[in-house]
Each structure stands twice: as C-alpha cells, then as structure tokens.
Amino acid sequence: MAETRFMKGNEAIAEAAIRAGCRFYAGYPITPQSELLEYMGAHMEAAGGTFVQGESEVASISMVWGAACAGNRAMTSSSGPGFDLKQEGIAYLASYEAPAVVVSMMRYGIGGGDITAGQDSYLQAAKGGGNGDYRLLVLCPNSVQECVDFTYQAFDLAEKYRNVVLILGDGAVGQMMQNVVLPDYVEPNINRYDWVIKGRAAGEKKNKATNLNWYMGDRPWEAHIREKLHRMQEQEQRWESYLVEDAELVYVAIGVSSRVAKQAVKMGRAKGLKLGLIRPITAWPFPRKAFEAVNPDVKGYMVVEMSIAGQMLEDVYGATQFSKPAYCCCTGIDIPVAEDVLARAEQALRGELEPEVAL
Amino acid sequence: MAEIICGGFGGQGILTTGMILANIGVDEGLEVSWSPSYGSEMRGGTANCSVILSDDEVGSPKVTYPDYLVVMNLPALQKFEHSVRDNGAILIDSSIVPTDRAFPEALPVYAVEATQLAHEAGAPRGANVIMLGALIKISGLFSEDAARRGMNRFFERKGKNSPGNDDCFTLGYTRVYRVQ
C-alpha cells in the first residue's frame, strides 16, 4: 500500500528527492525554505547520501555542480537573494550540461526582500538568471502532492535533457501542510551515464567536465543547445486548464495564486460568470499550447500573481500574440484572496480596467 | 466544510491545536490544509495558523474569513474577530482573554479556562488540547469519538501518546461555556 503522510511542502520536496535517488544535497538556510534543508540534514545520511550545509549559497551550488558531474543525483534549494547567489553555478551547470535539481521557494520583495511568500522570482526563473543563452526546465507545484510528484520527476527530466530542472514554489506552498502519497524509492547507479567523471585506469579514455563548446567547437555547440531548447520547448509544455472552453475571462496563475484563482473561478461560475483558469505547470517552457483551447471569443486574460508589476504578463501576451487584452491582479506581499480576485475579474469584464502594459 | 484560525502566543501550543484538528480531518477522509503564519504576519505578538477542512479541493491555504476563531491571547482575538463569518463562532481561553469586553455583536462567543484548567490538572502543556476539546464540542466538526481517535493517532505518531491527552480533551469538551 502506498505510504501517505501529512507534510509541509518543503519537507515533501526533500522526501521525494531522497526517494528519487538524490544522494547529494548542499544548501544554506533561508526562510521560507529552511525546512527543506533541515529535512535533508535529518534524513539524507540514513539514505546513504551526503548532506552538506555549505558556508554559503555559492559554495553549495558549486558542490552540487561537482556532484552532478560525477553522476550523482544532486540538489540544492534556496529562496530570493539566496537563489540570486546560485545563478553563477546554475549557468556553469548549463554550460557543462550537468543535470541537477534546484529548488526556489519564492519570497516577497526586491534584493533581500522579506521572508514572507511572494512570486517575484518568476522572470529570473523562467528566463534564466545567469550568464548566457540557456533555460531551466521550470516546474511549478501548487500543492504538497505536486511538490512530491514534480520533484520525483525532476531528476529524470534533468538527465533526459542534461539540463537543470528548477522546482519553482512559493513560501505559501512550501509552508502549507497537506496529506500526500509518497512514491517508491529508487537507487540509481552513479555510473549509469557515459559522460560522468570518475577515476579511470591508465590508458582508459577520460571524460572532461567542462564547457561543451571547448571540445565540440562553437558552431556545433550552438546548434546542439538550440536544438535541445527547441525540443524541450515543444515537448515539455505542461499546464492545467480549468473551464476555458466557454470562458469570457481566463485567469493565468501559478503556485498559491493559482489555488486562489481556481477558487475565484468556482465562485464566479456559481454567480453565472464564465471564468476560467490556465495554470502553467512549466514556467519554462511556457505552455502556449494551453491557449489554443480557450474560447476564441474570450474577452481577456488576467494574471494573478504576488508581484508588483506583473512578471508573467509578457508570457501571456506572447502566447496570445497580443490578440487579447490582459489584466493584472498583482497582490504584492499579500496572498490573493478569492473574493478580491473575483471582484477584479468583474471589473475587467465591465470594462472598468485598462489592459495592463507588459514592461 | 469549515475554515479555522487558531492564534495565540508562541509556546502555548495553539499551532498544534490546529495541526491535530487537521490530522483528524485527514483521518476522516477530508481535503485538508494547515498553514502557519510567519514573518511580518506575526508582528503584534501572535502566532497563528489556518486550517481548512473541506469536502472539495482546498483553494487558498490562508484563511481570511474563518468560520471558527480559536484564540489563546488578546492580540489574536483583536486581529481576527472582525473577520469571522456571520454564521461563525469565537472560542477563547478565558483564563487569558477577558470575557467582560465587547465582542462582535452577532457572533456566539464561547470560553474555556484552558490554561487554568491545565495547571489544575497538573498538565500545564495540555491547554491547547483543552481548546481542541472545547472546539469539537461547540462546532460539532467531528464526533467526539472521531476527534479523540484522530488526536491519539496524532500523538502516537509523534511518540507522545498519554492518557493525559484524553483527560485534557475531556476538560475542554465538558467545561466550555457560552459567554455571548
């Protein structure tokens, strides 16, 4: 019988990673994701893996970089300014095509910000935050069960594409507790790929972990990266659609905001308002395909997001090729409240809101 | 089905009251979420949590308009009393929160001397379970049996099961009274 447990989102990610065969974790504590690190500290050793609390975020992502090159299923996690510090390491992982899983539990604000939940790291996560033309495959859980399911899949996806997979949550999803079903344990062979670096006998061909273009040549490497990103863009768009076929206004939201937006759809429908929801499960690749099923006469879209100026807005305009107006319900430091989200949609449908300008 | 805010000072165990309630809900097959307050939400001296018990998918994990407000200090009462839904109720620990004050007029207000009763029973850390027993009595959210079963399972999983928990639950269940 499947094992169920009542867990926090942060703990659920850690447990799912261990069950997926993650055997190296390095991190540095930061609210609102510290329970993830604490859980790894308490349980990684018993799973036969290594837990390191690094001296900084930079050190931690660098250790993950090394572990990934050696074929380990490796993970780190952070939030806000800590996620900033990991960008250099993430870009190096991208340039080496070393697979790893990174978690960002978004917090509020700019720079140091504040420890409460936010969704302000969307652009940094979805567009790449380090140097160079790379993308992360970004999975956005909105429940504790999805924290488990997406983390469990993340390692396979990272290795399939030799690409960093980012679990992009928010403080509210990381802190909430729900009942979850946990998957079985897997124990990957650290030498299962021919690209890993390890001790080799004299005369045996040695692998190098380095920038791929240094031995592939710049042009072939560019073509290789371009092809991979396009393949991911085509194959990995994931989303949940809710009542979009006849909707007059469709919310677009991830994480905790998507839970509230769905609640607002239900409340609106109960009053006869035709609302719908597209919930991107992948922030990159953004699920443009989801918009194909929307009522062609939809009057507009509304991004519900804990940000200041609407970070996902440009992706919505991109997906619709600016064919429909889009509005924002940006709640900043506050978790959106369903009644307010519904009222905002009613305003838009009455023509009382100006479409939002994507910055 | 019901949305509950539990609030008090850190250390009173009020977040655990909410967590036990959530665990009872899980055992009873409901969709459940529990979320703590942290950071700037805690300014003003309250630790609080949101518990949602639902037959349907849970929306926002944060309760804005509670059906039940369960508080063990005055700041938590003042912070949330005006958000309680019209058909909701307030439960206070009357050994800490004064009862001779103006509560929102239309709402039923219940009280139990949780901290005092816990001390008298020689179980000072059981005040939060007394609050739970009182909440089950006034709300009927779960049958008394189901609530006790879920509570004991919660403590068993933590390795902290003791007959004292049942005794505290009984105190809350039997000694809660209506103030307004």
CA distance B155 to chain A (A): 13
Pairwise CB contact (< 8 Å): B32 & A178:
yes
- Output the pLDDT for position B44: 62
Instruction: Give A179's contacts in chain B (Cβ within 8 Å).
Output: 26, 32
Instruction: Give B64's contacts in chain A (Cβ within 8 Å).
Output: 337, 339
**Across all residues in chain A, what is the average pLDDT?**
96
Is a pLDDT exceeding 90 seen at residue B151? Answer: yes
Closest B-chain CA to A257: B60
Find the length of chain B.
180
Optimal mutation site among B27, B35, B43, interface A, most CBs of chain A within 10 A: B35
In this structure, what CATH number is given to the domain that contains residue B71?
Answer: 3.40.920.10
pLDDT digits (tens, 9 = 90+) for A254-296: 999 999 999 999 999 999 999 999 999 999 999 999 999 999 9
pLDDT digits (tens, 9 = 90+) for B102-111: 999 999 999 9
- Give the angle subtended at the CA of A70 by the CAs of A66 and A71, to the nearest 5°: 120
Residues of A engaging B, defined by a Cβ cutoff of 8 Å:
6, 31-32, 114-116, 172, 175-179, 256, 259-260, 262-263, 266, 333, 335-339
pLDDT-derived band at A124, boundaries 50, 70, 90 = very high
CA A312 to mean position of chain CA atoms: 13
> Do residues A45 and A51 touch, judged by C-beta distance below 8 A?
yes
Distance from C-alpha of A307 to C-alpha of A336, rounded to nearest angstrom: 11
CA distance A185 to chain B (A): 22
Nearest one of A306, A350, A351, A297 to A328, comparing CA atoms: A306
Pairwise CB contact (< 8 Å): A256 & B61:
yes
Q: In which residue ranges of chain A is CATH 3.40.50.920 found?
A: 240-349
Burial (0-12, 13-18, 19+ Cβ within 10 Å), B132: buried
Which chain B residues in 36-65 lie under 8 Å from chain A, judged by CB atoms?
Answer: 36, 38-41, 57-62, 64
Report the pLDDT averaged over residues A343-359. 97
Is a pLDDT exceeding 80 seen at residue B45? Answer: no
Distance from C-alpha of A195 to C-alpha of A168, rounded to nearest angstrom: 28
Closest B-chain CA to A263: B59
Distance from C-alpha of B165 to C-alpha of B130, rounded to nearest angstrom: 9
Instruction: Give B23's contacts in chain A (Cβ within 8 Å).
Output: 6
Distance from C-alpha of A136 to C-alpha of A232, rounded to nearest angstrom: 10
DSSP symbol at B124: G
Query: A3-202+207-235: which CATH number, 1.10.1660.10, 3.40.50.620, 3.40.718.10, 3.40.50.970?
Result: 3.40.50.970
* ipTM of the modeled complex: 0.94
Distance from C-alpha of A20 to C-alpha of A148, rounded to nearest angstrom: 10
Half-sphere exposure of A43 (CA within 13 A, CB side): 17
Fold of A240-349: Rossmann fold (3.40.50)
Domain that holds residue B171: 2-178
Across A258-267, A347-356, B156-165, least confident range: B156-165
Q: In the structure encoding, which two tokens stand for residue A262, read together?
A: 């769905």
Longest distance between any two alpha carbons in chain A, whole Å: 75
In what side-by-side order are the strands of the sheet with A275-280?
A239-242, A275-280, A249-252, A300-305, A326-330
Distance from C-alpha of B140 to C-alpha of B142, rounded to nearest angstrom: 5
CA distance A176 to chain B (A): 4
Distance from C-alpha of A186 to C-alpha of A73, rounded to nearest angstrom: 11
Is a pLDDT exceeding 90 seen at residue A1? Answer: no
- Tell me the one-letter amino acid at A48: G
Q: Given phi > 0 = left and psi -120 to 50 = alpha, else beta, which region is A255?
A: left
Optimal mutation site among A11, A31, A177, A329, interface B, most CBs of chain B within 10 A: A177
pLDDT digits (tens, 9 = 90+) for A128-167: 899 999 999 999 999 999 999 999 999 999 999 999 999 9
pLDDT digits (tens, 9 = 90+) for A41-59: 999 999 999 999 999 999 9
Is a pLDDT exceeding 80 seen at residue B42? Answer: no
Across A114-128, B28-42, B50-64, B85-99, least confident range: B28-42
Q: In the structure encoding, which two tokens stand for residue A100, read together?
A: 């790893």
Q: In the structure encoding, which two tokens stand for residue A202, read together?
A: 């004299």
Residue B55, C-beta contacts closer than 8 angstroms, at least 6 positions apart: B1, B30, B31
Pairwise CB contact (< 8 Å): A333 & B61:
no
Closest A-chain CA to B23: A6
Which chain B residues in 79-138 lie under 8 Å from chain A, judged by CB atoms?
Answer: none
Across A196-200, B28-32, B55-59, least confident range: A196-200
Across A105-119, A191-205, A249-263, B37-51, least confident range: B37-51
Across A32-36, A152-156, B9-13, least confident range: B9-13
Is a pLDDT exceeding 80 seen at residue A169? Answer: yes
- Output the pLDDT for position B61: 97
Written as one string, the DSSP assignment of B6-64 is EEE-TTS-HHHHHHHHHHHHHHTT-EEEEEE--GGGGTTT-EEEEEEEESS----SS-S
Across A77-81, A299-303, B46-50, least confident range: B46-50
CA distance B36 to chain A (A): 7
Closest B-chain CA to A338: B60
- Output the pLDDT for position B128: 98
Instruction: Give B5's contacts in chain A (Cβ within 8 Å).
Output: none
Is a pLDDT exceeding 80 seen at residue B7? Answer: yes
Output the pTM of the full model.
0.96
Q: Is A148 helix (H, G, I), strand (E, B) or coil?
A: helix
Task: Please indicate whether residue B156 or residue A2 has the higher confidence score (pLDDT).
Answer: B156
Q: Is A345 helix (H, G, I), strand (E, B) or coil?
A: helix
pLDDT-derived band at B43, boundaries 50, 70, 90 = low
pLDDT-derived band at B161, boundaries 50, 70, 90 = confident
Optimal mutation site among A11, A178, A181, A341, interface B, most CBs of chain B within 10 A: A178
pLDDT-derived band at B38, boundaries 50, 70, 90 = confident
Q: In which residue ranges of chain A is CATH 3.40.50.970 found?
A: 3-202+207-235
Nearest one of B135, B117, B133 to B125, comparing CA atoms: B117
Pairwise CB contact (< 8 Å): B34 & A335:
no
pLDDT-derived band at B14, boundaries 50, 70, 90 = very high
Give the H or E element holding residue B119.
Answer: helix B114-120
pLDDT-derived band at B39, boundaries 50, 70, 90 = low
Q: Which of A6, A31, A338 sits opposite B60 (nearest CB)?
A: A338
Distance from C-alpha of A355 to C-alpha of A219, rounded to nearest angstrom: 42
pLDDT-derived band at B160, boundaries 50, 70, 90 = confident
Q: Is A181 helix (H, G, I), strand (E, B) or coil?
A: strand
The pLDDT > 70 percentage for chain A reads 100
Is a pLDDT exceeding 70 seen at residue B41? Answer: no
Q: Which of B34, B40, B62 sits opposite A172 (nearest CB)?
A: B62
Report the pLDDT averaged over residues A325-332. 98
> Do residues B157 and B111 touch, judged by C-beta distance below 8 A?
no
Pairwise CB contact (< 8 Å): A176 & B60:
no
Number of domains observed in the structure of chain B: 1
CA distance B176 to chain A (A): 29
CA distance B177 to chain A (A): 31
Pairwise CB contact (< 8 Å): B40 & A336:
no
- Output the pLDDT for position B40: 63
